Amino acid sequence: MTPDVRSALVVGLGNPERGDDGVGAEVVRRVAARALDGVRALHLQEPVHLLDESPDADLVVVVDAVLGPTRPGAVTVHEVDDRPLESWTGTGGTHAVGLAAVVELARALDRLPRRLVLVGVEASVFDTGTRLSPPVQAAVDEAADVVVRLVQAQQVDR
């Protein structure tokens, strides 16, 4: 890792055995495959496990399936700022600590990363099984591109 390359952590959330909930893991797999310098890619099934990751990276990007108003496959980007995060995904995994709660808990403990960006892919089908629904599958590359652009923009911004 060259000294002037800033570090980024990319985390895909969700359960790959629950249909569209697997989109986070799939997007992160694509990002990891690009083998970008200074980028660490990780899949976590539960948002609460983000709290075990130290916020040393200059940029943390979290990718997750979201329930949204637009259409399945729509990719949204949210830069976490001073405003409290409203419920992001509408679900809390299996143990009721959702991504919004994790972010706000980190904020209360002064543990937010220097920069935190949430990339959401609107999803609709959460049946048991490993297949992403067609609109969500079609959005994977777009979401991966969004993540890569965020990481690369961070790296040139000195």
List residues near another protein by CB under 8 A.
15-18, 43-46, 48-49, 51-52, 87, 90-98, 101, 104-105, 108-110, 127-129
- Closest CB to another protein among 7 and 126? 126
Nearer to another protein, 2 or 128 (CB): 128
Shortest distance (Å) from residue 91 CB to another protein = 7
Q: Which of 53, 62, 57, 60 is nearest to 1 (CA)?
A: 57
- In whole angstroms, the minimum distance from the beta carbon of 5 to another protein comes to 25
Q: Whose Cβ is closer to another protein: residue 81's or residue 157's?
A: 81
Which residues are CB-neighbours of 46 under 8 A, at least 6 positions away? Answer: 13, 93, 94, 95, 97
CA-to-CA distance for 56 and 62, rounded, in angstroms? 15
- Smallest gap from Cβ 156 to another protein, in A, equals 32
Of 54, 74, 78, 55, nearest to 65 by C-alpha is: 74
Q: Least distance to another protein from the beta carbon of 92, Å? A: 5
Question: Which residue's CB is nearer to another protein, number 95 or number 158?
Answer: 95
Q: Distance between CA atoms of 10 and 58, rounded to whole angstroms? A: 11
Closest by alpha carbon to 94, among 41, 44, 129? 44
